[in-house]
Chains A and B, each alone.
Chain A
């Protein structure tokens, strides 16, 4: 017989969990004691529970493994909610273990009590409150199973303190069967055959792929199929790296800040092959405008509820993206005749490409686009780029060409500012030798800046690229364009001296103010200071905007281009 706390740790060991991100507190003291007595599962002590969940999230994004966070009851839990919701929106597999007050105190407004299951219910794939120590191991097994299968997502396991003290036999189930949970893996062959037929007829096809390709590790399958078909490929923000960005068939990211060629190709396509993407509002713009063109849509997704949710789908294929793409490829290999008109479509796409919609003008200030281009050069395109949310995120997505999946780590669905730095920590725990660049802004970085301390403790050599324009740039851009330049609360005064701040935490700080210093600073950071966390404060053009831009409510082809202004 072992204690509930020991069962928790044994379960983590059985699941081959290498590390958990967490923060101790009263309700999880037994669990932390059990953690102390072993060294198989490492623990990363963060400075705020939100960061623990973000780090676990990025650990998963960058490795495909399930991320694990451990926090105490009450405020420990409420601090994780943003991180859980972030992972939920991007379908990231994660298990969050939360302490709870002892069973007999639940509902009595005990110290550090909150209704964890109630608070997290709308932003988890599933959650559990463990009421009996005999259920503990099987519940944790279920949590890992649910988190990682089907459309992945975060699962919360809430464990009252008394349960962690009680003794029980430990028996970890090898497999788990749940009558209410049986996600589909294989696509329907009849539907896949229909899809092949439509792809053969397509005159103006496009392959539109999202985070599902990354989550199911389907990048090789996608590349093989796309090359065979010779169709253009566009990625959503979440799908970047799913198809090599330097490949000729790649037309760039689509959507609100997508390229001219990607948005036009998506809009005017007569056949869309949607793969693990969900026609999000930031992707298709105004749905009525998008619906004006006649087209046929093939949609591969593991989640039936993503199909025909925002755009009507002609051929739904429910299944794991990698499996379905394999099946599709097999059928395509056995006698696929592409429509000869696709050649004309490519001519049209190349004409759109000729607009060079990501072109920007150099100025006396450092241009943020330039920093991203140099970052790409200096890291040889091999870095893991974590980002926060705002203009810098879009610049990174547009100018850093991701050739590999799981290298672009950002909050796409929820759009959570502050994730970048803890994301870097999670990436480094999963990929200890990786080059990690955290692209951020002076607004976002301050939302989780306390993690500089965690980075010092564990020696995370993250390179922070702070695109500092002294403005909440994306807010300012909208205010400039749609609110007659009334810059309500988008201007950040009293910024800290980031160089001194980095130094105060024991890191290296650099301030870069001239375009000619950008490259050398980056090189220095990635070579001389390879093993240090370097905070690079780039003082950039305060009014640089992100283009192309599809304004809210506008159609996908109604883009504002930099050249229009």
Chain B
């Protein structure tokens, strides 16, 4: 099962390595990880996309809670939430492909944010599956470079992760 774990952690040097080290030491996998300070600069929020059985997820959340720097842990995927991922993708845009690329970006509600004579950089935000679909929809030979942020997410409505 796919799970999105949100962590509030003291914004101190080495905090990331404690979390990453825990995952590698105990054999849990990280599919993506994003981290940045919150509106309170003393706290960082980390979002980890992982997969595992219910038992493994129970251990992951317990082990994360055990880290001294971790303030709160929530499995976002346990309830209603929204998730987004940002991708920047650089594609070849010459000849007839140039128009085609523009059209594809529009269809997926992407934005072209850098233009040269032969390339576009398209910015695309959405659920990870949408980004996957966009990549699949393009001619692989035209993709020059991709970079993705990994998933970040937030609970819907009154579900609030705060100290």
Contacts and interface: CB of A to CB of B under 8 A. Distances in A.
B163 interface: yes
A146 B71 CA distance: 15
B14 interface: yes
B136 to A, nearest CB: 39
Interface string B64-105: 011011110000000000000000000000000000000000
B21 A121 contact: yes
Nearest to A305: B62
Contact of B68 (A122, A126, A304, A309): A126
A264 interface: no
Interface in A174-222: 178-181
B139 interface: no
A546 B14 CA distance: 45
B59 A309 contact: yes
Contact of A304 (B10, B14, B25, B65): B65
Contacts of B68: 125-126, 146, 178, 180-181
A121 B17 contact: yes
Nearest to A124: B68
A558 B25 CA distance: 32
A308 interface: yes
A306 to B, nearest CB: 9
Interface in A311-345: none
A521 B62 CA distance: 52
Given A121-B14, A122-B25, A126-B68, A179 B62 contact: no
Contacts of A180: 9-10, 68-71
A134 B163 CA distance: 26
A308 B21 contact: no
Interface string A404-419: 0000000000000000
Contacts of B106: none
Contacts of B65: 304-305
Contacts of B71: 179-180
Interface string A155-186: 00000000000000000000000111100000
Interface string B20-41: 0100010000000000000000
Contacts of B17: 118, 121
B132 interface: no
B59 A303 contact: no
Among A178, A180, A305, A308, find the residue whose CB has the most chain B CB atoms closer than 10 A: A180
B19 to A, nearest CB: 11
A303 B66 contact: yes
A138 interface: no
A117 B14 contact: yes
Contacts, number: 38
B55 interface: yes
Contacts of B66: 151, 303-305
Interface string A116-139: 011001100110010000000000
A179 B58 CA distance: 22
A374 to B, nearest CB: 44
Interface in A107-122: 117-118, 121-122
A119 to B, nearest CB: 11
Nearest to B22: A122
Contacts of B25: 122
B63 interface: yes
A146 B66 CA distance: 11
A305 B63 contact: yes
A308 B14 contact: no
B156 interface: no
B58 A308 contact: yes
A309 B59 CA distance: 7
Among B9, B25, B58, B68, find the residue whose CB has the most chain A CB atoms closer than 10 A: B68
B18 interface: yes
B18 A121 contact: yes
B40 to A, nearest CB: 11
B62 to A, nearest CB: 4
Interface string B35-58: 000000000000000000001001
Contacts of B55: 308
Contacts of A304: 62, 65-66
Contacts of A146: 68
Contact of B163 (A122, A179, A303, A309): A179
Nearest to B24: A122
Contacts of A309: 59
Contacts of A308: 55, 58
B42 to A, nearest CB: 9
A309 B55 CA distance: 8
Nearest to A303: B66
A402 B93 CA distance: 79
Contacts of B70: 180
Contact of B59 (A121, A151, A305): A305
B122 to A, nearest CB: 38
B26 to A, nearest CB: 10
A126 B22 CA distance: 12
Given A118-B14, A178-B68, A304-B66, 20 more contacts: A121-B14, A121-B17, A122-B21, A122-B25, A125-B68, A129-B14, A146-B68, A151-B66, A180-B9, A180-B69, A180-B70, A180-B71, A181-B68, A303-B66, A304-B65, A305-B62, A305-B65, A305-B66, A308-B58, A309-B59
23 contacts: A118-B14, A121-B21, A122-B21, A125-B68, A129-B13, A129-B14, A146-B68, A151-B66, A178-B68, A179-B163, A180-B9, A180-B10, A180-B68, A180-B69, A180-B70, A180-B71, A303-B66, A304-B62, A305-B59, A305-B62, A305-B63, A305-B65, A308-B58
Closest 5 CB pairs between A and B?
A305-B62, A126-B68, A180-B71, A304-B62, A181-B68
Interface of A: 117-118, 121-122, 125-126, 129, 146, 151, 178-181, 303-305, 308-309
